[in-house]
Structure 1
């Protein structure tokens, strides 16, 4: 019996190749999307789960309150790990992890390498596989280095690197570091990523200095005993911290003036496995691959949309073709088939199509995977499908898809009355509410994604094209850490000798931030702290609103003069800022005078709000970056000159450069990727929705075949008939837009709330999206409508 069902299914599908192809194509795309998203979600939830002790590993984090505002922080100082382990029951071990860059010399070339410094028991707490070396001793000696397999091959041409030497800079000299172990490359689903590991450096004086309780720059992980309660351990940690650090806190609070309402931090433990998807305490400060669960929700929704629309298409197209199979059903019933057998037959065809679609989906997913990895910033592989949970998930997905796509058509087709079908008196009765509702659902989802695409495109364009308040064009950034002002001045003078270089401005490396008192005993708890010279504002064309700029004509500018931005003035509450005082607690309460106010500019990306900013020329602060303004059309020659001059002045430092405008664009990589992902989702949904609309137009034309014939006999034109057939579908699309537009408006506003600087949603954007959806729908149905209107009426009326 089942063999017969199978033969009939194959014959029916080969007889209707176009419809079979459309169904298989739609289901394949939907299933491929679902497979890729399941891979993504599996990877997200599997992060950091490969460690044997993973369920007992926690990160020490804090909750702070400043000026009544609570915040959480994942960084700690060097004391928390050892002191909590020694004085709190339930903590078995601790590991500190801090990221950094060091200069390595290979032959005559010097290269800066990113690395992690960790405690010696790193491999006892975390399960990173060692290929060669002893995990217990490989990090015990101060001049040890551990490499991954790929890094070992890069440095020495082979993974057999244990015992070999790397030359690393310490102060002004390069000293040998011995490779003591080689590990496998870090799993891609790990928050701790490294190519080099070095032992954590800490002097005896640093370990005894109680002020290091308040030095936040590293991650501290603890391994709890099997039966220890994280809540109990956290409470013990807090009690010990308050006992051990309270006097130091009072002293530092008095010295640095953080305010009379300042409170000691509250310590608690964050489960290691929750770190990757945490929005409050993400994997940062040297940890990598931090994610947001919202991404998984969005991708899952898109996959569900596409798969649902593909199933809706199957239903619509199958019912649309049911008129052609009416006689077949009638004959089957006359010769004795009952409804159950017909349901099995049609469900069998559904599952056969799904099986073909699943095969095609796997091939399609394999083809698309490299692009998906690039968009999602992953290194996924279809070999992950061999995971037992995922295989079970795909089997469930196959069954659900087969039932969803075939159950309703099977019930409809098996219910036809044989008398009507055999005497050609059969036609599809009713208003087809289900089919029309499904099309409305399809176009609601498609319209929603199209509007989302327009919104993301508009916001991305706003972020990348909005003036930043300074000129970032043709500016090259060259880094050289811990550079004295005398070194910077000499290098700057050399660069300005070249005619292709217009301006040069040194600045501190990275982002500095600090706090300070104001003259009225109030304070600003955080502001960006920049060390520049008198050329900085001119180089970046930053407007000066009040007062004057730094000047070489005023030697005192490098001693006690500062510039501030508008946000600083506003937060300080000053009406006349020139001449006001700022007291630097960390600098022995040295008083600085405001000599100028800089116009607010976006010194960070537009997805962050402009914060208070202060500029100084203090000689004791080192420079770390040069901003070099190159004249147009001289880029290649100027870059060659800059490199030559850099090697002349700093022969033992690695030379790298970045264009400032390119660095700014990298701040929006996340938005750029999501722009592409949502675009692909919108294209897929509108494409598959149009297939469903085409199926419904076929159904409508076949239901109204005789009506069309009569209208043509009575003189109706092709245009009027095509208009009558298309009108119903336009109504469905308009209903979908009425539903989609408010939903999209709400979702877009919620998404834009994440940006302090954002576009204003306009009805023009929604109107354009609606017009696009209507145009695509009309193009889809017009083909079938015109074809039906051009048909010979004699053929449709000859049986009457």
Structure 2
């Protein structure tokens, strides 16, 4: 009997190739989507859990709270003092290890290469038990000139991983010193917040170790190991009691000198919480910080797509049921009972599901490179094959097959054999479930389409908005300092393709000073030369630019932006004094520049102060002629290596680095588009199934209409209008919700694209057009059928 059912199932699939393909395609796409997103969420949830003893490892984090209860600052960083201090004062803290991001220059022959590295305490491998390929973790970092490499970096510099005992020339304090490789570690796993490539021992002077002012230094990660069974909350209380006692005098000194009124609070963050933390993110050498909302949204999209695929399966199966009515009637007449028929149709459902599962694996593997690029990960399908996930997939297969096949089996097995054999059986009912599903499907599809368009417009707005300066054809070269600056500039300007060269500091610095006597103002402070503003075409709207004609500019002159002037409350900024009271320096404002977006457009323009002290210079800014990049880049590299031979050469185009600030928006634009396309595709499959069902139910009506002279257009319109009405209802439901959600999301951006009515109208028109194309195919086909076939009775 089973063999007979199997033959029948495959014959039915072969006979209805188009519908079988649609059924399997919809289900396999839904399953593939679920698999890919399951890979993503599994990877997110598994971060750092591979480390032995990880449940006892915590990171010390801090929060500074103002007297009014507002948070001044919160950070996952601590200083060199916090780890040893808390370990000595809190018995439950068994040990600690500090971890700091670093970057080193390495001399290989005559070439100098840059390499990401980290500084750690010598007990790093005793706490963070990353596996080693060669060497002993307990002794690997005991000596100050010891170095540990990852397998990849070992092969990069030596061509082999077995390199214990070999040396590398690392630059420290301006000179190259030999460091001995004492161990080689396996490359850190994909799901690790620590991905080190090179480790060196953290060296601290006796002054740094004993200076209690370091309670207020924050520049590295400190991890502590608690004793088994220790209560983290109780440990936090003991930490605060110890801090308030040990740092009492230091707090008084800082409060008097800097007018510091905030109160520090120290807590413990579980190591496994770091990756998805919104408050204390992975930084300063840690990588991969993520937002848990990504996983929730993606999981919701995957679940919906899979559910819709299953229900579409039901719709199409029921829609095609009339074609099998005689088969069911014959089976009942010759003795098949309802249980056997249900078994047959459930069996067919599981066959289809099995085929869909196999295809889903292939589709997922095919799309995996694209998905990895989209999610910025390096996932593999082998990641799915552990005991729990295999069990989950088996359960998913059984549930999917049952859900997709049970309702059709129940309906089909209940057909009256007399009615089916005499072709009198008709499916009845209003199909409220299917109609509601269509509304739900197209409501969500419309939401996702509008979300995609809004995200796309905002992304385009961010990358195309006028920044207040010209970033085109500008590149930056780091590590240009001291007496090398003038020589490098002079040599570059000899090339006719180089128009201007300016120098500034690397990165951004936030500090505070007093204005108007005693008012404290926080601002961004940068160091630039006299050529910087003209190179970027940033207008000076009051006063003057820095000038080499004024020797005092490097010592006491500053330029501020409009935001600074507004925050200070000045009417005439030129001549005002900015007082850095904590280091006894005062500067005079000589000019005001028009506000420009020196930071990402995700932030409102904040007060900025520019100084002209070349001691802080380090980044060359070069404007080249349009179209000359291919010719001028080798020249710049040649001059750099000639003038700065002991630094690695690198460059970056400013407009590209500006666009890179919006990688998250670009990623979500693609993800939402991916979800919208899948949702609308599967929704159209469902609509197609219902249109087939409607055409089958109204077969005789269509025949009568044709006999009475109705045109194909009239009949197609009559069959399509009900479905288009459902789609229009879904638009009325989705658009207000989409407007509210889009408006709320855009509030996260101080500079944003405007929401326009045509955006919603275009999205709605697109959805209606897709639905019309989907429904009209079956409607026109039914309208063109010969009426004699539908009207005759056997």
Identify whether the pair has TM-score above 0.5, normalized to the shorter chain.
yes
Check the 8 A contact 1:257/1:516 in 2, yes or no. Answer: no
Report the 3-state secondary structure (helix = DSSP H, G, I; strand = E; otherwise coil) of the residue aligned with 1:667. helix
Tell me, yes or no, if structure 1 residue 742 matches structure 2 residue 736: yes
| 1:728-739 aligned within 5 A | 728-739=722-733
Report the 3-state secondary structure (helix = DSSP H, G, I; strand = E; otherwise coil) of the residue aligned with 1:594. strand
In the TM superposition, what is the alpha-carbon distance from 1:67 to its structure 2 partner?
7.4
In the TM superposition, what is the alpha-carbon distance from 1:626 to its structure 2 partner?
0.8
Check the 8 A contact 2:89/2:242 in 1, yes or no. Answer: yes
| 1:350-361 aligned within 5 A | 350-361=349-360
| 1:74-113 aligned within 5 A | 74-113=76-115
| 1:25-36 aligned within 5 A | 25-36=25-36
Alpha-carbon distance in 2 for matches of 1:750, 1:162: 56
Tell me, yes or no, if structure 1 residue 581 matches structure 2 residue 583: no
Tell me, yes or no, if structure 1 residue 614 matches structure 2 residue 613: no
Q: 1:725 aligns with which of 719, 723, 730?
A: 719
Cross-structure match for 1:627: 621
Alpha-carbon distance in 1 for matches of 2:30, 2:664: 25
Alpha-carbon distance in 1 for matches of 2:749, 2:694: 47
Q: 2:652 aligns with which of 658, 679, 687?
A: 658
Cross-structure match for 1:603: 598
Cross-structure match for 1:533: 529
| 1:326-405 aligned within 5 A | 326-405=325-404
Alpha-carbon distance in 1 for matches of 2:447, 2:391: 31
Tell me, yes or no, if structure 1 residue 315 matches structure 2 residue 317: no
Q: 2:552 aligns with which of 549, 556, 559?
A: 556
Report the 3-state secondary structure (helix = DSSP H, G, I; strand = E; otherwise coil) of the residue aligned with 1:699. helix
Check the 8 A contact 1:56/1:224 in 2, yes or no. Answer: yes
The 10-residue stretch of structure 1 (157-166 or 502-511) with the greater mean CA deviation from structure 2: 502-511
In the TM superposition, what is the alpha-carbon distance from 1:554 to its structure 2 partner?
1.5
In the TM superposition, what is the alpha-carbon distance from 1:641 to its structure 2 partner?
2.2
Cross-structure match for 2:541: 545
Alpha-carbon distance in 1 for matches of 2:442, 2:9: 31
Alpha-carbon distance in 2 for matches of 1:160, 1:787: 71
Tell me, yes or no, if structure 1 residue 710 matches structure 2 residue 704: yes
Cross-structure match for 2:45: 45
Alpha-carbon distance in 2 for matches of 1:762, 1:166: 60
Q: What do residues 314-369 of structure 1 show as CA deviations (whole Å, max 9, x unaligned)?
A: 01110110111112222223333333322222222111111111111111111111
In the TM superposition, what is the alpha-carbon distance from 1:575 to its structure 2 partner?
2.9
Q: 1:523 aligns with which of 520, 523, 533?
A: 520
The 10-residue stretch of structure 1 (498-507 or 432-441) with the greater mean CA deviation from structure 2: 432-441
Q: What do residues 69-100 of structure 1 show as CA deviations (whole Å, max 9, x unaligned)?
A: 31421111100001110111100111111101
Q: 1:193 aligns with which of 192, 195, 206?
A: 195
The 10-residue stretch of structure 1 (422-431 or 332-341) with the greater mean CA deviation from structure 2: 332-341
Check the 8 A contact 2:66/2:263 in 1, yes or no. Answer: no
Coordinate RMSD, CA, aligned: 1.5
**Which sections of structure 2, spanning at least 5 residues, go unmatched?**
none
Q: What do residues 145-181 of structure 1 show as CA deviations (whole Å, max 9, x unaligned)?
A: 1001111111101011100010011223211000000
Cross-structure match for 1:56: 56
Alpha-carbon distance in 1 for matches of 2:632, 2:384: 51
**Which sections of structure 1, spanning at least 5 residues, go unmatched?**
none
Report the 3-state secondary structure (helix = DSSP H, G, I; strand = E; otherwise coil) of the residue aligned with 2:610. strand
Tell me, yes or no, if structure 1 residue 453 matches structure 2 residue 452: yes
Report the 3-state secondary structure (helix = DSSP H, G, I; strand = E; otherwise coil) of the residue aligned with 1:668. helix
In the TM superposition, what is the alpha-carbon distance from 1:719 to its structure 2 partner?
1.2
Alpha-carbon distance in 2 for matches of 1:403, 1:456: 38
In the TM superposition, what is the alpha-carbon distance from 1:408 to its structure 2 partner?
1.7
Report the 3-state secondary structure (helix = DSSP H, G, I; strand = E; otherwise coil) of the residue aligned with 1:311. helix
Tell me, yes or no, if structure 1 residue 669 matches structure 2 residue 666: no
Cross-structure match for 1:117: 119
Q: 1:504 aligns with which of 501, 515, 519?
A: 501
In the TM superposition, what is the alpha-carbon distance from 1:66 to its structure 2 partner?
4.2
Q: What do residues 536-562 of structure 1 show as CA deviations (whole Å, max 9, x unaligned)?
A: 111111122222111112211111111
| 1:275-314 aligned within 5 A | 275-314=274-313
Report the 3-state secondary structure (helix = DSSP H, G, I; strand = E; otherwise coil) of the residue aligned with 1:52. coil
Alpha-carbon distance in 2 for matches of 1:414, 1:566: 78
Alpha-carbon distance in 2 for matches of 1:750, 1:52: 43
| 1:174-193 aligned within 5 A | 174-193=176-195
Cross-structure match for 1:154: 156
Alpha-carbon distance in 1 for matches of 2:748, 2:344: 52
